[in-house]
């Protein structure tokens, strides 16, 4: 039978052993923005842009947002952390972005716009 002091020493040893373990590697981190890299929503033409589901997509009471087409993989990789704790409704959204398209606006940013209404 272990005495209380031995039990405490065993618990301390287990805690110290756990501190030395490394946590498993997750998905690769998105590339950091650099001065010469385009912003995730900057564009020159509408073809640079695409729509992606926000944390809660159109089939879950949410909406879509416009980002650069080449930023989709990074956006999707960051979804678990960015959307942690969000609760999505089990309903079809009526948000205008769910019936829209991605366009490059006059401000040089990807925007959500109603179909056929480019800026």
Burial label, 70 (beta-carbon count in 10 A; 0-12, 13-18, 19+)? exposed
Residue 16 inside a domain? The answer is: no
Question: Would you say residue 57 lies in a domain?
Answer: yes
pLDDT at 40 over 80: no
Which residues lie across from 83 on neighbouring strands? none
Question: Mean per-residue pLDDT for 27-44?
Answer: 59
SS3 103: strand
> Could you tell me if residue 84 is inside a domain?
yes
Amino acid 65: pLDDT: 95
Task: Answer yes or no: is 32 within a domain.
Answer: no
Is 81 within a domain?
yes
Residue 75 lies in a domain: yes
On average, the pLDDT of the chain sits at 76
User: For 69-114, what is each residue's pLDDT tens digit?
Assistant: 999 999 999 999 999 999 999 999 999 999 999 999 988 999 999 8
Q: Examine residue 15 and state whether it is found in any structural domain, yes or no.
A: no
Q: Number of folded domains in the chain?
A: 1
Q: Which two tokens stand for residue 21?
A: 């373990």
CA gap 19, 42 in Å, rounded = 43
Q: pLDDT grade, residue 12 (50/70/90)?
A: very low
Residue 56 domain flag: yes
Range of the domain at 82: 44-119
């Amino acid at each position: 039978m272990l005495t209380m002091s031995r039990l405490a020493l065993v618990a301390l040893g287990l805690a110290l052993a756990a501190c030395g373990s490394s946590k498993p590697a997750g998905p690769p981190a998105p590339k950091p923005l650099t001065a010469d890299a385009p912003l995730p929503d900057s564009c020159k033409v509408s073809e640079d842009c695409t729509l992606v589901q926000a944390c809660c997509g159109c089939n879950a009471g949410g909406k879509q947002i416009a980002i650069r087409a080449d930023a989709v993989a990074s956006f999707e990789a960051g979804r678990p952390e960015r959307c942690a704790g969000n609760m999505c409704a089990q309903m079809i959204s009526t948000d205008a972005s769910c019936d829209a398209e991605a366009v490059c606006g006059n401000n040089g940013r990807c925007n959500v716009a109603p179909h056929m209404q480019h800026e």
